[in-house]
Chain A
Amino acid sequence: MSTTRLAGVLAFLLGVFVLVPLFINLTGRWDFYYTLTSVALLSVAAAGVWLTFYIGRINIGQGAYALTGGYVSAILITQYGVSFWLTLPLAGLFCAAVSVLIGLPILRLRGVYFAMVTLVLTEVARLTALALPVTNGAKGITSIPLPGELSLFGLTIIPDFSTLGNPKLAFYLMATVLMVLTYLVLWRIVNSRLGHLCRSLQQNEELSASIGVNTAMLRVLAYAISSFFGGLAGAIFVAISQSIYPSSFVVQDSVNFMLYCFLGGLGYVFGPMLGTLLLYFGWDLLSIAKEYQLLIYSGALIALMLVLPNGVLSLLDKKGGRK
């Protein structure tokens, strides 16, 4: 079992880091880099949403944290001259801190109530970005410099992006490395004591509280980790587009993150990654259908839901019967 799993992971890494660049080089479809970078980043944010699903909460507020993370990074770079690589963890940590403050009261809510509050949270983030002076209102923050050099003791680890001949490839590699790390962390969390405790929350919160699980702490922790991922993804998005506006992440994005998780399957760690790939890439490919794009896309979404209501990865269940 473990050798097949190892082989699967190796095949996945080979595909992401070798085959995809090779394929793009051969076919010359450089625009795929942008699409795939977006997929990688969105799946990082979706991983966070998935973790909140794992404790039994429907999170439709990831867009708020992506926006916050993006603004933190953009403001630190443009106004304080902080290196991009330092702002990345700072953006994540800031979002985690904010999510603890917000999460403490709202995580008491359950079911649709939590879902609706988080949905409203995205609107709050957008309106706050419009109202605050530091975010420059509706004009947003533009012409943010590309990520600079990252060096340790004079040794260059990552070169300055603006000196690279092909920043698209660099962004692709950065995003995918981050994605792999995120899912490694997620997989580790799920298969640890913390993961078992989260599952107990998902099944019955009262019962797990009654046998001594600190449910309040646990759900805030899971929510903070989730928001950390959201902030991280937002910060890199800003670095790629070199600009951020209050409407960079809206309610629609938050809903999409949730859809990615559903589509991939809520019971599977790699569900959100697959869901993001299918939905985002599918949407991109459907652009040839012009005005029927949305019709076909949503029709496929509904059909998929009718056939596989538990996510695409539930196909594995029928074959192997393992989770």
Chain B
Amino acid sequence: MEQILANGLYLGAQYALIALGLTLIFSLMNVLNFAHGQMYVFGGFVTYTVVAQLGLPFIVGLIASAVVLAVMGALIEKFLFRPVIRKSKRDESTMLLAAGIAFFLDAVILLLFGEKQRGVPKIVNGVLNWDMRIIMPYDRILIAVLAVALIVGFILFMQYSRTGRAMRALAQDRMAAQLMGVDVDRYSMIGFALGAMLAGLVGGLLVTITGINLGMGGPTSVKAFLMIMIGGAGVISGAIAGGFILGMMESVGLTVLAAYGDITYLVIFASLMVFLAIRPQGLMGKPWG
């Protein structure tokens, strides 16, 4: 049982970090970023290139993927999303754009990094063995701790920095924020860059454990959507809750339901639909986000 809980917490920390980026972009710009999974994969490949091919330390790779993805996110917002949002009649048009970007990133990843599964050597060796009750490699623990630290850092940044306050104002009411003198364009760009950066960071963290390959983008996006649906779209606490809940459900489900075959995700999806029928806005979302 302790093992299941530990696995759940470990998965949840990563999931929450992925969901945070997605929910940040959604709350600021009302854009459902289909390309989030691809950004995550891209981040993983950047870290792989820096660490495994250039032979630099892991932390450099992590920073590199954060920087690359932040720049990419800023450029995507400025040159793609902003003009389309301004010109289009319906908000949903941005979804086509996001899906197009997802395809584009897939193509770029394929051309730059190839289709092989890639990984970097373990950063810490050894396995924690607590009385045979919890067995977990040290590198997983390190990654989970780093993920939690990043989440805490992100929350502090959003709560107390000037930029964070501006972005929260923007998420609450775009028009009012603009009237109060918030530079809407600038903070949308920063927000998008930050969201993309989080995706890149998770990619960089996970490449040390699960490795990375081209096909991981789509399923990651779907999982991230699940998490922000559980927690409520556009709410930061909701994204964190959703991430940990999904991580727990997956960990418990894989153990308990293993006897019945591969139906964990079927059960998760089915219960999610029942849950959403009762509470459409998720745990903490505002109605009709």
Contacts and interface: CB of A to CB of B under 8 A. Distances in A.
B281 interface: yes
Most chain B CB neighbours (cut-off 10 Å) among A121, A294, A298, A310? A298
A120 B273 contact: yes
Given A120-B226, A309-B88, A301 B269 contact: no
Most chain A CB neighbours (cut-off 10 Å) among B92, B96, B101, B103? B96
A251 B93 contact: no
A252 B80 CA distance: 22
A116 B269 CA distance: 11
Contacts of A119: 222, 225
Given A113-B281, A124-B266, A124-B270, A305 B225 contact: no
Contact of B233 (A108, A112, A259): A112
A295 B107 contact: yes
A215 B107 CA distance: 43
B288 interface: yes
Given A108-B280, A309-B84, A131 B261 contact: yes
A58 interface: yes
A302 B225 contact: no
B133 interface: no
B44 to A, nearest CB: 19
A276 B195 CA distance: 32
B229 interface: yes
B32 A112 contact: yes
Interface in A160-208: none
A115 interface: yes
Given A112-B32, A112-B233, A127 B80 contact: no
Contacts of A105: 273, 276-277
A109 interface: yes
Interface in B94-147: 95-97, 99-101, 103-104, 106-108, 110-111
Contact of B218 (A106, A251, A267): A251
Contacts of A301: 96, 99-100, 103-104
A255 to B, nearest CB: 6
B266 A302 contact: no
Nearest to A252: B218
A305 B96 contact: yes
A58 B95 contact: yes
Given A294-B107, A298-B103, A310-B89, A120 B80 contact: no
A266 interface: yes
A314 to B, nearest CB: 8
B58 interface: no
B270 A112 contact: no
Contacts of A76: none
Secondary structure dominating the interface of B: helix
Secondary structure dominating the interface of A: helix
B269 A131 contact: no
B213 to A, nearest CB: 16
Interface in B248-289: 261-263, 265-266, 269-270, 272-273, 276-277, 280-282, 288-289
B48 interface: no
A286 to B, nearest CB: 11
Nearest to B97: A305
A310 B104 CA distance: 20
B192 interface: no
A258 B229 CA distance: 20
B103 A127 contact: no
Q: How large is the interface on A (under 10, 10 to 19, 20 to 34, 35 or more residues)?
A: 35 or more
Contact of A123 (B87, B96, B263, B265): B265
Contacts of B88: 309-310
A110 to B, nearest CB: 5
Nearest to B86: A309
B55 interface: no
B26 interface: yes
B218 A127 contact: no
Contacts of B265: 123, 127
Contact of A113 (B99, B111, B222, B233): B233
A53 B289 CA distance: 18
A212 interface: no
Most chain B CB neighbours (cut-off 10 Å) among A262, A295, A305? A305
B90 interface: yes
B181 interface: no
Given A294-B103, A294-B110, A306-B80, A112 B26 contact: yes
30 contacts: A53-B92, A105-B276, A106-B277, A108-B277, A109-B280, A111-B288, A112-B26, A113-B233, A113-B276, A115-B32, A119-B225, A120-B225, A120-B229, A120-B272, A124-B270, A124-B273, A251-B222, A255-B99, A258-B96, A262-B93, A267-B89, A294-B107, A298-B101, A298-B103, A298-B107, A301-B96, A302-B104, A309-B93, A310-B89, A310-B90
Interface of B: 26, 32, 34, 80, 83-84, 87-90, 92-93, 95-97, 99-101, 103-104, 106-108, 110-111, 218, 222, 225-226, 228-229, 233, 261-263, 265-266, 269-270, 272-273, 276-277, 280-282, 288-289
Given A120-B269, A295-B108, A306-B80, 15 more contacts: A58-B95, A106-B273, A106-B277, A110-B280, A113-B289, A116-B226, A116-B233, A120-B272, A252-B218, A259-B96, A263-B96, A291-B110, A302-B104, A309-B87, A310-B93
